[in-house]
Amino acid sequence: MEDSSGSSPSLAILRNRYWILRHGRSVPNESGLIVSSLENGTKPEFGLAPQGFEQARAAGELLQKELEEMGVPVDSVKIRYSPFSRTTETARVVAGVLGIPFEGPSCAAVMGLRERYFGPSYELHSHDKEISQQLPLSRRHRNPAVWVFITSSFQFYQLLPQNK
C-alpha cells in the first residue's frame, strides 16, 4: 500500500530525522553522586549545574544551526526527554533557544527515556573507587569536560568548556 507520495507507509518513517542530545552537566555529576531513581531524579536539587545550562544553550545553538542548514522548519521539531530534572532542564533550554514553547505539544517527557536504576545500594552514593570498579561504565571511563552533540547525519561535535 502506498501513500499519496508514492511511498509505502513504513518507508515514510525513514524520512524522519533524529538528533540525540545528552543532558548537560548536573549537580550529581559535580558531586560524584549516583542519582538513578525516579524519586530522586525528578527533584530540583538534582538538576543542571551552571555549566550544564551553558552546555544546553550551546547544544541548542548547534542544533538550530544544523536545522537551518538542512532546511528543517523549527515547527516540525519534537523534543522528547526523560522526566529527570537534569534532562527536563536541558530540554527546556534547547526549546528556548529554538523558540519552541516548552509547555506546548512539541515538548514532552517520556518515561521510557529515564535513567537506568542501579538500586538502593548505589542511590545517592559517591562514585568512589569501590563503586567505580563495580560499574564499568562509570565516571572513570568518561571525560566530564566533554559533552557530545550528535547530528542527524551522525556527525559528532564535542563541546568543550570555555575558559573564562
Look at residue 113 in the predicted model and tell me its pLDDT. 85
Domain count, the chain: 1
Alpha-carbon torsion angle 31, 33, 35, 41, nearest 10:
-20
Residue 82, domain member (yes or no): yes
Residue 63, domain member (yes or no): yes
Residue 17, domain member (yes or no): no
Pairwise CA distance, residues 78 & 136, whole Å: 33
The H or E element containing residue 157 is: strand 156-159
Residue 69, domain member (yes or no): yes
Residue 151, domain member (yes or no): no
The CATH number of the domain holding residue 56 is 3.40.50.1240
Structure-model confidence comparison of residues 131 and 47, the more confident one? 47
Residue 38, domain member (yes or no): yes
Residue 155, domain member (yes or no): no
User: Can you list the positions of beta strands (E) in 1-137?
Assistant: 20-21, 79-81, 107-109
Cell of 80: 522528547
Range of the structural domain that residue 56 is part of: 25-128
Residue 81, domain member (yes or no): yes
Lowest-confidence segment of 10-14, 54-58, 104-108, 154-158 by average pLDDT: 154-158
Range 114-136 average pLDDT: 69
